[in-house]
Structure 1
Amino acid sequence: NTSLTCLSGVMFPFDMYANLQLEEALEKKQSVRIKINDEMYRADVMLRRAVSENRRNEVELLRKDLKDDAALPPHWEDMKEALLKLFPVAAGSKEYDEVKTELTKTSLTPNIISVFQNATLWQNYQLMKKQMEVKNKHTNNEKLLFHGTGAGSIDLINTKGFNRGYAGTNGAMFGNGSYFAVDPAYSVGYAKPDAKGHKRMYLTRLLAGDFTQGKAGMITPPSRGSGNAADLYDSVTDKTANPTMFVVFNDIQAYPEYLITFT
């Protein structure tokens, strides 16, 4: 199950940490402090509402079964009750060649391509995708982008997804979020080699949605100017015309679909 918050009539999913807090509060029949749009709220799960600590805002809470909206892809391999798994993609297969084609925009040649399966991350991502389609009134919200990283971050990303809490460690010119590049050549610079010289990057599904120009210091996308403070852009970019990178501030807006290892 997942918990949703209602802002301006549209439901938005919590990230996994807040969702866990709410589930534990429900089990213990207690209230809990959670963050919504970078503001602290006191959530009463039994009453299905959360009130901001300055008592100016109140939102509705909804508990929903993810299986209703986010079934796992039928082509996924059997995970045998595991929470997550990496499966090698066979060299020469259509799937392998499609990912390889994305890399041939540069001079990169992959050594290993693995497809990543994490049911929790996938279901949260799909729920966010559906909610974004309702909010934006269109389905052109998803992009395939790249994210380079060091070997030490792989297990954490595979388990928890991309964490905007690490923003700033590799530069944050357009906001304190998670960064994803259109061109894999850019991500290579952040793919730190391990002791054997292997580098890693993800080909990622990203919900860029409706985006605008980013700037240093941002912790959320700016308001869309509708007069509603909760009506924010979905992501920000380095430039709105032909952007080369996208920045998101909600951890479940990105799903690390393929892990690419190269030298």
Structure 2
Amino acid sequence: MSIVIGYVKLYGSKESVTEVENEYYREQAKQSEQARLMAIARDIIWAFEKDDKNWEKYVPELNALIEDAYTSQLETFEYTDDKSIEYIIDLKQNIETCINSQQQRLITRHVDHGLPPHWQLQTENVARFSLDENSDEYKDARGVFNKTMSNKYDTILRIERIQNKQWYTQYNSYKSFSSKKDTERKLFHGCRQESIDLIINSFFNRSFAGVNGTVYGQGAYFSANASYSHNYAKPSTQNSERYMFVVSVIVGKSTLGNTNMKIPPAGFDSTTDGDHIYVTYRDDQAYAEYLIVYK
């Protein structure tokens, strides 16, 4: 065999060369099909309803086959799972039926607009999901929290992943087109219980500025130290729970702020105390990834 840029030369008997050539094309077709399946799974997600508001994605191969049937305008699609159980999907009514038991469940088709692949499927714009304590995602979020939290708390009750599609899309767009994307940092924002839904649904809106002071500017405040943000995570009067967001922030170029600043000076993206506090002035400059509930 001789490899030249752009092509491969094979030497041997006619039969052996033909066999290798056929195997090459089979492998090429296999890789192309696998790439197609994964491309579809990135952009189009088919899922079935497990229970109220919880959906499970089909595996990539089956996801692509369902999408092929859908785009071919077929009314139904049949398949057999890895346990040899047969199903039929009504693509008009979005219902899947188990042929053996006749049990039915809803299915949905979701067009993915660049959302994180580890997110759970959601039908609404905003959703919150408690993380499994044994998952790497939970352990990573807890590790970020503990790194600067010292001994300020007794126990973490839960960590929730925040899935706000509109907010994430805006943040990701700002990050993608910003020349300061390499300044993304994981920061913290402690708050009272009554502020949680406002933040999750309305972002770190600058109209909230001033609730905890405006010493370094009239924007949204974050700290690199969880132990500092803990001071603003006042315990709930109902159950003594405290709340802190782990936030991805594009700090960009930062300058020392003061109480009169409504926007950063020209050429700057945020203001700071010169140490661990950062103040942002754009709604799409920060995204709350997790809410940590603790005591």
Residue in structure 1 matched with residue 173 of structure 2 by the alignment = 127
Q: Post-superposition shift, 1:111?
A: 1.4
1:104 aligns with 2:104: no
Residue in structure 2 matched with residue 235 of structure 1 by the alignment = 270
Q: Post-superposition shift, 1:95?
A: 0.9
1:260 aligns with 2:295: no
Residue in structure 1 matched with residue 126 of structure 2 by the alignment = 84
Deviation per CA, 1:160-218: give whole Å up to 9, x if none. Answer: 11111121120111000000000001111111211100010100011101111111110
Q: Is contact 1:116-1:258 (8 Å) kept?
A: yes
**Aligned partner (choices 221, 228, 240) of residue 197 of structure 1:** 240
CA distance in 1, matches of 2:128, 2:208: 23
Residue in structure 1 matched with residue 115 of structure 2 by the alignment = 72
Bigger Cα Rg = 2
Letter in 2 for 1:198: E
Unmatched 5+ residue regions in structure 2? 1-110
Residue in structure 2 matched with residue 245 of structure 1 by the alignment = 277
Superposition RMSD in Å: 1.6
Aligned length: 180
For 1:189, what is the secondary structure of its paired residue? helix
Unmatched 5+ residue regions in structure 1? 1-66, 225-232
Which structure 2 residues correspond to residues 18-167 of structure 1 after superposition, within 5 A?
A: 71-79=114-122, 81-105=123-147, 106-107=150-151, 108=153, 109-133=155-179, 136=180, 139-167=181-209
Q: Identity percentage over the alignment?
A: 36
1:216 aligns with 2:259: yes
CA distance in 1, matches of 2:221, 2:145: 18
Q: Post-superposition shift, 1:103?
A: 2.2
Residue in structure 2 matched with residue 63 of structure 1 by the alignment = none
For 1:220, what is the secondary structure of its paired residue? coil
Residue in structure 2 matched with residue 36 of structure 1 by the alignment = none
Letter in 1 for 2:178: M
TM-score (norm 1): 0.66
Kindly report structure 1 stretches of 4+ aligned residues shifted beyond 6 Å: none
1:182 aligns with 2:224: yes
Q: Which has the higher helix share?
A: 2
CA distance in 1, matches of 2:130, 2:178: 31
For 1:113, what is the secondary structure of its paired residue? strand
CA distance in 1, matches of 2:144, 2:157: 14
CA distance in 2, matches of 1:122, 1:145: 16
Q: Is contact 1:132-1:141 (8 Å) kept?
A: no
Q: Post-superposition shift, 1:126?
A: 0.8
